[in-house]
A and B are shown apart, each in its own frame.
Chain A
């Protein structure tokens, strides 16, 4: 199956700083998603981005499917952005839904 690698594994930022998280895939992607895991363990669906660029407030994501990578940008970071960010490739069809996750990037934003 597809392999998903994320970098960096850990990131510490000062509040207000910008950051870029990267996700590399071993094969072509069709259903790339980004998630944020909050301190309570819940995974929040940030972006569904199989290709192109999307923005939602201070967060934006870009996927270059032909080069098998995706980037998540966080601008003007806030302490509430802390947590673990995961990218995942999804399979959604009659054979079943499933996600293959990367190892995650643990982000800590300091006040």
Chain B
């Protein structure tokens, strides 16, 4: 059974650009959530999608957005990149609302120059 797949693994962008990150959940999982990890702020919740609907959103500016497709794959977009957006972005999928069936991908390391 394939795990949670995030692409790309590494990304380098410059300030002002926009970026799209992709997450393919485990087959059958309908909940996909996103987290940002930085050395200064640690792991912070971005948003969560279930059956193409955003159910919850963390305390991030509107430059951070996401969506989920009918096959449960999810994308997150960051517009007008800032240096502080450099981070590891992690995606997690779960089967319905089950904490014991929560699995993370290996993340996308975004560097903003």
The A contact surface, by secondary structure, is strand
Find out whether the CB atom of B106 lies under 8 angstroms from the CB atom of A41. yes
| B107 close to A41 (CB less than 8 A) | yes
Residues of B within 8 A of A91 (CB): 56
**CB nearest to B106 among chain A residues:** A42
Question: Contacts A48-B99, A48-B100, A99-B35; is A40 near B106 (CB within 8 Å)?
Answer: yes
A59 to B35, CA, bound (A): 26
- Does B48 lie within 8 Å of A103, measured CB to CB? no
Q: In B45-78, which residues have CB < 8 Å from any A CB?
A: 45, 48, 50, 55-56, 58
By a CB distance below 8 angstroms, the chain A residues around B106 are 40-42
Q: How far is the CA of A90 from the CA of B97 in the complex (A)?
A: 10
Interface mask (A6-43 → B, CB under 8 Å = 1, otherwise 0)? 00000000000000000000000001010100001111
Point out residues on A near B: beta carbons under 8 Å: 31, 33, 35, 40-45, 48, 86, 88, 90-104
Q: Which residues of B contact A (CB under 8 A)?
A: 31, 33, 35, 42-45, 48, 50, 55-56, 58, 88, 90, 92, 94, 97-100, 102-107, 109
Q: A31-B99, A48-B100 are in contact. Are A97 and B48 (CB under 8 A)?
A: yes
- Nearest CB of chain B from residue A51's CB, rounded to whole Å: 13
- Min CB distance B50 to A, Å, is 7
Please state if B88 and A103 are interface contacts (CB–CB under 8 Å).
no
The answer to whether A92 touches B98, judged by C-beta atoms less than 8 angstroms apart, is yes
Chain A contacts for B92, CB-based, 8 A: 43, 99
Beta-carbon nearest neighbor of B59 in chain A: A1
A96 and B56 in contact, given A41-B90, A43-B104 (Cβ under 8 angstroms): yes
